[in-house]
Structure 1
Amino acid sequence: MEVTNADQRPTAPQNDAHHDSEKGNADANAVVADAPYSVLPAGEKIFVIIAGSFAALISPLSSSVYLPALDSLAHDMDVSVSLINLTITTYLIFQGLAPSFLGSFSDGYGRRPAYIIAFVIYLGANIGLALQNSYSALMVLRCLQSAGSSGTIALGSAVVADLTTRAERGKYIGYAGMGIALGPALGPVIGGLLDHFLGWRAIFWFLVILSGSCFIITLIVFPETCRAVVGNGSVLPARWNWPFWAFIIPRSRFRGAEHPPDPSTVQVLKHRPNPISSLRIATQREAGLILLYGGLLFSGYMAVLSTLSTQLSARFGFNSIQVGLCYLPLGMGSISSRFTVGKLLDWNFRREARIQGMSIQKNRQQDIDNFNIERARLTISIPMIYFASLCILAYGWVMQFRTALAGPMVMLFFTGMATTGAFNALSTLIVDVNHHSAATAVAANNLCRCLMGAATTAFVSPLIGAIGLGWTATLIAGLWVLFSPILWLVYCRGHSWRQRAALKKQQKAENRGS
Structure 2
Amino acid sequence: MPTGELVGVEQKSTALGPFPESKHEILPGNTADDEDETSPFSVFTPAEKRSIACLASFSAIFSTISSFIYFPAVTALSNSLHVSIGAINLTITSYFIVAGIAPSIMGDMADQSGRRPVSLLAFTLYLGATLGLAAQDSYAALQTLRCLQSAGASGTVAIAYGVISDIAPSAERGSYVGLLLGLANAAPSLGPVLGGVIAEKLSWRWIFWILAITSGLHLLLLFVFLPETARIVVGNGSRSPRSIIYQSLYHRLCRSRYDQNEGRIPEKPPFHLPNPFSSLITLLQRCTFIVILVGSLQSSLFNSIATSLSSQMIHIYSLTYLTAGLSYLPSGLGGAIAAYFTGKLLDRDYRMTSKNHPGPADISIDNVSSFPIEKARLRSIFIFIAINTVATAGYGWALASRTHIAVPLIMLFFTGSSSAATFVACGTLITDLNPNRSSTVQASYNLTRCLMNAAAIAALQPMIDSVGVGWCFTIFAAIGALCVPSLLLLRSRGLAWRLGKVDQQMT
Instruction: With the length of structure 1 as denominator, give the TM-score of the two structures.
Output: 0.87
Q: How many percent identity over aligned positions?
A: 38
Residue equivalent to 2:166: 162
Residue equivalent to 1:244: 249
Residue equivalent to 2:347: 346
Q: Is the 8 A contact 2:62 2:153 kept in 1?
A: yes
Deviation at 1:132, TM superposition (A): 3.4
Residue equivalent to 2:37: 33
Deviations 1:184-215, CA, capped at 9 Å, x for gaps:
23211111101111122221121111111111
Residue equivalent to 2:452: 452
One-letter amino acid of the structure 2 residue matched with residue 185 of structure 1: S
Residue equivalent to 2:283: 282
One-letter amino acid of the structure 2 residue matched with residue 403 of structure 1: T
Residue equivalent to 1:195: 199
Q: Is the 8 A contact 1:32 1:265 kept in 2?
A: no
Deviates further, 195-204 or 134-143: 134-143
Q: Is the 8 A contact 1:182 1:335 kept in 2?
A: yes
Superposed counterparts of 1:96-135, under 5 Å: 96-135=100-139
Residue equivalent to 2:300: 299
One-letter amino acid of the structure 2 residue matched with residue 214 of structure 1: H
Residue equivalent to 2:4: none
**Runs of 5+ in structure 1 lacking a partner?**
8-24, 508-514
Cα distance in 1 for residues equivalent to 2:245 and 2:316: 55
Cα distance in 2 for residues equivalent to 1:178 and 1:200: 27
Aligned equivalent of 2:153, options 149, 159, 181: 149
One-letter amino acid of the structure 1 residue matched with residue 239 of structure 2: V
Cα distance in 2 for residues equivalent to 1:344 and 1:337: 10
Deviations 1:486-509, CA, capped at 9 Å, x for gaps:
2222122221111112222222xx
**Runs of 5+ in structure 2 lacking a partner?**
1-11, 17-28
TM-aligned CA distance change 1:421 to 1:317, over 3 Å: same
SS at the partner of 2:44?
coil
TM-aligned CA distance change 1:29 to 1:124, over 3 Å: closer
One-letter amino acid of the structure 2 residue matched with residue 284 of structure 1: Q
Deviation at 1:67, TM superposition (A): 2.3
Does residue 313 (structure 1) correspond to residue 314 (structure 2)? The answer is yes
Deviates further, 392-401 or 54-63: 392-401
Cα distance in 2 for residues equivalent to 1:71 and 1:467: 30
TM-aligned CA distance change 1:76 to 1:457, over 3 Å: farther
Residue equivalent to 1:22: none
Does residue 500 (structure 1) correspond to residue 500 (structure 2)? The answer is yes
TM-aligned CA distance change 1:128 to 1:455, over 3 Å: farther
Q: Is the 8 A contact 1:93 1:454 kept in 2?
A: no
Residue equivalent to 2:379: 379
TM-aligned CA distance change 1:262 to 1:111, over 3 Å: farther
Cα distance in 1 for residues equivalent to 2:360 and 2:334: 34
Aligned equivalent of 1:90, options 80, 90, 94: 94
Deviations 1:428-485, CA, capped at 9 Å, x for gaps:
1111111111111111111111121123233423433333322221121011112432
Q: Is the 8 A contact 2:165 2:435 kept in 1?
A: yes
RMSD: 2.7
Deviation at 1:75, TM superposition (A): 4.3
Count of aligned pairs between the two proteins: 480
SS at the partner of 2:237?
coil
Q: Is the 8 A contact 1:159 1:225 kept in 2?
A: yes
Deviation at 1:406, TM superposition (A): 1.2
SS at the partner of 2:419?
helix
Q: Is the 8 A contact 1:108 1:272 kept in 2?
A: no
One-letter amino acid of the structure 2 residue matched with residue 506 of structure 1: M
Does residue 391 (structure 1) correspond to residue 391 (structure 2)? The answer is yes
TM-aligned CA distance change 1:268 to 1:126, over 3 Å: closer
Residue equivalent to 1:233: 237
TM-aligned CA distance change 1:179 to 1:340, over 3 Å: closer
TM-aligned CA distance change 1:133 to 1:471, over 3 Å: farther
Q: Is the 8 A contact 2:72 2:192 kept in 1?
A: yes
SS at the partner of 1:177?
helix
SS at the partner of 2:379?
helix
TM-aligned CA distance change 1:460 to 1:4, over 3 Å: closer
SS at the partner of 1:357?
coil
Deviates further, 394-403 or 127-136: 127-136
Residue equivalent to 1:216: 220
Cα distance in 1 for residues equivalent to 2:276 and 2:310: 35
One-letter amino acid of the structure 1 residue matched with residue 14 of structure 2: N
Residue equivalent to 2:362: 361
